[in-house]
Amino acid sequence: MIEVENIHKSFGDAHVLKGITTTFDTGKTNLIIGQSGSGKTVFLKCLLGLFEPTEGKICYDGQNFSELSSQEQRALKEDMGMVFQGSALFDGLTVAGNVMFPLEMFTKLAKSEMEDRVNIVLNRVNLVDAHHKFPSEISGGMQKRVAIARAIVMNPQYLFCDEPNSGLDPRTAIVIDNLIKEITEEYNITTVINTHDMNSVMEIGEKILFLKDGLKEWEGTKHEIFKTDNEAVTNFVYSSELFKKVRQMYIEERN
């Protein structure tokens, strides 16, 4: 579980996060949504420890990140997996090399044990024949799956995804969404996803946090988002005619 308490983040005069308090539950897919410039990426980078909050605290299963020693922070970071928007795979390494990278860096496993672990996670993300290919030789969807495999190879407690569906076709996007949800439940990890994709919100949003101008505007489940009267949320989520109709149908069905 990740508990966030009154997080503020400023860059010079720009006050990006203005006091966000929330909780991300273990074994659930937690989604952060909001318009561009609402502070989603900065918030995610604070959760990852890439940005130090100006004020407030972030606790990972009771451990306040800012109060940990640098060694303890490093150990905690080894428990975090991250899927970047552009996958961020290392160009010079093969698919297997990318997935094996954290194992080589942080474990003392024998080469054969590492290879076994790499095979397990690559099978888990349905990438069986891509071991020796380089990132430039595989599709965007495959790159995302390699990024997920790399993020889970160390059995992390926390998985963060920054717009994992961006640039993917709708079918591949659903595959990636379902994969993240399945992994979250299977490994019982705390997953936080930063997304613009409303399909993801409807499909896997067990908890949704809506940010507006650096503040928490709304939070709830994918079922609650259908019923909410919050104007900012409805304007954002139901901006397309299709989603307006889906919402209408859902409300009529419930009534």
Per-residue contact string for residues 65-84; x = within reach of other proteins by CB under 8 A: ---------xx-xx-x-x-x
Q: Which of 5, 10, 35, 48 binds other proteins (CB under 8 A)?
A: 48
Q: Which of 1, 59, 68, 88 binds other proteins (CB under 8 A)?
A: 88
Residues 94-123 that bind other proteins (CB under 8 A): 101-102, 104-106
Closest approach of other proteins to the CB of residue 101, in Å = 8
List, as one string, the DSSP characters of the chain: -EEEEEEEEEETTEEEEEEEEEEE-TTSEEEEEE-TTSSHHHHHHHHHTSS--SEEEEEETTEEGGGS-HHHHHHHHTTEEEE-TT----TTS-HHHHHHHHHHHH----HHHHHHHHHHHHHHTT--S-TT--GGGS-HHHHHHHHHHHHHTT--SEEEEESTTTT--HHHHHHHHHHHHHHHHHHT-EEEEE---HHHHHHH-SEEEEEETTEEEEEE-TTHHHH---HHHHHHHT-SHHHHHHHHHHHHHH-
Size of the site for other proteins (CB under 8 A): 23
Is position 49 an interface residue for other proteins (rule: CB under 8 A)? yes
Toward other proteins, which CB reaches closer, 104 or 116?
104
Is position 53 an interface residue for other proteins (rule: CB under 8 A)? no
Is position 11 an interface residue for other proteins (rule: CB under 8 A)? no
Closest approach of other proteins to the CB of residue 213, in Å = 23
Residues 146-165 that bind other proteins (CB under 8 A): 160
User: Which segment (2-10, 43-51, 193-201, 218-226) binds other proteins by CB under 8 A?
Assistant: 43-51
Is position 224 an interface residue for other proteins (rule: CB under 8 A)? no
User: Which segment (47-55, 164-172, 204-212, 223-231) binds other proteins by CB under 8 A?
Assistant: 47-55
Toward other proteins, which CB reaches closer, 153 or 173?
153
Alpha-carbon dihedral 104, 108, 111, 112, rounded to 10 degrees? -130
Residues 182-211 that bind other proteins (CB under 8 A): none
The residues that bridge with 29 in the sheet, in sequence order, are 191
Alpha-carbon dihedral 60, 63, 64, 67, rounded to 10 degrees? -140
- Sites of contact with other proteins (CB under 8 A): 48-50, 74-75, 77-78, 80, 82, 84-86, 88-92, 101-102, 104-106, 160
